[in-house]
Amino acid sequence: MDNLIQGAILAVEDLNIRYGNIQAVRGVSFSVHPGEIFGLLGPNGAGKTSTLSAIEGLLKPESGKIRVSGYDIREKPLHARANIGVQLQSTSFQPELHVGEIIRLYAGIYNVSMSNEQIGEVLASINLADSSTKKFGQLSGGQQQRVSLAIALIHTPRLVLLDEPTSGLDPQSRRKLWERMEKLREKGRGIILTTHSMEEAESVCDRIAIIDQGKIIVTGIPQEIIDNNRNNAEVIRASRKGKITLEDVFIGLTGDAVRA
Amino acid sequence: METIIPSTSKVLSSLLRADFTTQWRNRRAVIMVILVPVIILISWKGLIEKFGGAFALSNCITVGLTAIGLMGYSNSVARDRDKGVFQRLRVAPVPSWSIMTSRLIVQLALIVIMILAVFFAGYKYDHISLGRSAYIMSILASFIGGAMYLGLGQAIVGMITNPETVSSTSRLVYFFFIMIGLFGAFGALGETLGQIVRWSPYGVVAHILSSSMHPESWDGEATKALALAFAYTALFSTLGIRWFKWNTAK
């Protein structure tokens, strides 16, 4: 673990999160490095969103350490958050504000000076050049995701957190988003991605961690995880077409019971 | 590379610009907040003769303050919390207090506009004029009353997470305060209920407002009402802050 933490943009060590009597996250540790897309996979209620919420500083863990760009999220929360770009699962902005006004607001609170022309350039870069005066609620799901991602990147953060960013997107929009993630990786950003799509995890993630019942049960490169579990009886049983896929490994390791 | 944190003034000015724009785009609701007390005042001619101008002005301003705290503030906070607006702001390098401070500054501005509208309507249509010190004192008293009702609004969003329940509860409390407060002030509810209304949140705000419009006759009762207004503010704010959750997820 020590080797992995060195040089990491995000280091999570022995994270424990509890809601009353429920232990949502148990001893989770992982790290994300510059130029890496790290996927956090797990069934519903596995602890993915709780882990991300702790990294974002939205909830206080029972124990454990989280460091973003070297800043402890509990000791220096504003410094840590200034290094994170976040796209939340259910992001919403003030419905009365226009898209251009929302970008101006977030540019301001991330300390980025932006002229009207620069706001126009940001919108043009996400193919929404003519949407500056539209309200956020008037945009389609895919357009909202693009705006949300543009805002997450407005301050060129070192770490980008994407919480199920492609859910509800059509294949074209999803591919575009994958391309954007890959461009961010090329620029040396660290990306942590939660997703229910194994295809997505296999396509874009450099490393993944599968989390279940609050614990990380496996971490590694997607293909290595497939290869290492190829002969696991549960994985073989989960296989549908003979060829073992990441989804088969995921179901084999986490079980086929539908989670609430 | 060193991390630079945005200055508080930069954060606050960005939040204020957005919150004022949001308020401006909701101007129909703002107009209602201002119109209701002004309409009551204009249609109150007979009562002004009976109870006096200060009584009418103080009750109308109290109605406006109640609407701002209960109908405006609590509902906008409940809606934005439910939609995840606060959570998005809180993952930015923004201290949580600055998010609420910006919201409260917008409400204070609304209070000032409402007071000026009531004073203007009182002067224009009912020829009610006060001395300079009375105007200043009553604006200060309005801020104290406004703080109390914003505290009550905060207590409602602190105790209730569902935005629809917040909306119905705040409407119910609003109409209860207005009806009971006004009838109590007219003496229509009898001696005992009249006393309860007099020392209720509605009554103490109307009392300090009315007394501040005659600063020369400020008495022990007015001081007691002022102390009680501070106590209500502290109680409501404590409850509202203590129980407030930034998101509605269980």
B84–A88 CB contact, under 8 Å: yes
Contacts of A111 in chain B (CB under 8 A): 4-7, 10
B21–A96 CB contact, under 8 Å: yes
Q: How far is CA A97 from CA A103, A104, A115, B77, B80, in A?
A: 10, 10, 17, 16, 13
Question: Which amino acid is it at B97?
Answer: W
Q: How far is CA B40 from CA B47, B127, B188, B197, B211, in A?
A: 11, 15, 18, 20, 20
| Contact residues for B61 (Cβ-Cβ < 8 A; gap 6+) | B37, B114, B115, B118, B138, B142, B145, B209
Question: Which amino acid is it at A147?
Answer: V
Quote the pLDDT of residue A91. Answer: 64
What tokens were used for B160? Answer: 């209730």
What tokens were used for B173? Answer: 């409390």
Residue A19: closest C-alpha in chain B? B250
User: Which helix (H) or strand (E) segment is A260 a member of?
Assistant: none
Return d(Cα B75, Cα A233) in angstroms, integer.
Answer: 55
CA distance to partner chain A, nearest, from residue B1 (Å): 10
Over residues B156-170, the pLDDT tens digits come to: 999 999 999 999 999
| Contact residues for A216 (Cβ-Cβ < 8 A; gap 6+) | A28, A29, A30, A209, A210
Q: How far is CA B244 from CA B62, B153, B158, B231, in A?
A: 25, 11, 4, 20
CA distance to partner chain A, nearest, from residue B244 (Å): 14
Mutation to test the B interface, candidates A106, A109, A147, A189, most B Cβ within 10 Å: A109
Query: Looking at residue B5, what DSSP letter applies?
Result: P
Alpha helices (H) in chain A, listed in sequence order: 2-5, 48-56, 77-82, 99-109, 116-125, 141-152, 171-186, 198-204, 222-228, 233-238, 246-254
Distance of CA A109 to the CA centre of its chain: 22
What tokens were used for B192? Answer: 């005992």
User: Which helix (H) or strand (E) segment is A25 a member of?
Assistant: strand A22-32
B17–A108 CB contact, under 8 Å: yes
Nearest of A101, A85, A196 to residue B17 by alpha carbon: A101
| Contact residues for A145 (Cβ-Cβ < 8 A; gap 6+) | A87, A165, A166, A169, A173, A177
Task: Give the number of residues written for chain A.
Answer: 260
B7–A111 CB contact, under 8 Å: yes
Out of B5, B14, B80, name the one closest to residue A94 (CB).
B80
Contacts of B86 in chain A (CB under 8 A): none
Return d(Cα B62, Cα B211) in angstroms, integer.
Answer: 13
Q: Is A193 helix (H, G, I), strand (E, B) or coil?
A: strand
A81–B93 CB contact, under 8 Å: yes
A81–B92 CB contact, under 8 Å: yes
- Residue matched to tokens 């609430």: A260
Over residues B167-226, the pLDDT tens digits come to: 999 999 998 888 888 887 777 778 888 888 889 999 999 999 999 999 888 899 999 999
Contacts of A90 in chain B (CB under 8 A): 84
What tokens were used for A57? Answer: 């500083």
pLDDT at B147 over 60: yes
Contacts of B85 in chain A (CB under 8 A): 92-94
Over residues B15-37, the pLDDT tens digits come to: 999 999 999 998 888 888 889 99
> What phi, psi does A126 have (nearest 5°)?
-115, 25
Which residues of chain A carry a pLDDT beneath 50? 1
Question: Which amino acid is it at A131?
Answer: S
Domain boundaries, chain B: 9-243
CA distance to partner chain A, nearest, from residue B237 (Å): 22
Chain A residues near any Cβ of chain B (below 8 Å): 56-58, 69, 71, 78-79, 81-84, 86, 88, 90-97, 101-102, 104-111
Which pTM does this prediction carry? 0.87
Nearest of B167, B183, B186, B178 to residue B205 by alpha carbon: B178
Return d(Cα B248, Cα A206) in angstroms, integer.
Answer: 34
Q: Is the ipTM of this complex over 0.85?
A: yes
> What phi, psi does A42 have (nearest 5°)?
175, 155
Over residues B46-104, the pLDDT tens digits come to: 878 888 888 899 989 999 999 999 988 999 999 999 999 999 999 999 999 999 999 99
Quote the pLDDT of residue A185. Answer: 93
A71–B25 CB contact, under 8 Å: no
Dihedral sign for Cα B44, B46, B47, B49, please.
Answer: positive
Quote the pLDDT of residue A4. Answer: 52
Alpha helices (H) in B127-162, listed in sequence order: 132-159
pLDDT at B1 over 80: no
What tokens were used for A43? Answer: 């069934």
A92–B84 CB contact, under 8 Å: yes
Nearest of B55, B62, B82 to residue B186 by alpha carbon: B55
Mutation to test the A interface, candidates B77, B88, B96, B101, most A Cβ within 10 Å: B88
Out of B3, B6, B85, name the one closest to residue A109 (CB).
B6
Quote the pLDDT of residue B62. Answer: 92
Q: Does residue B107 contact residue B30 with C-beta atoms inside 8 Å?
A: no
Contacts of A93 in chain B (CB under 8 A): 85, 88
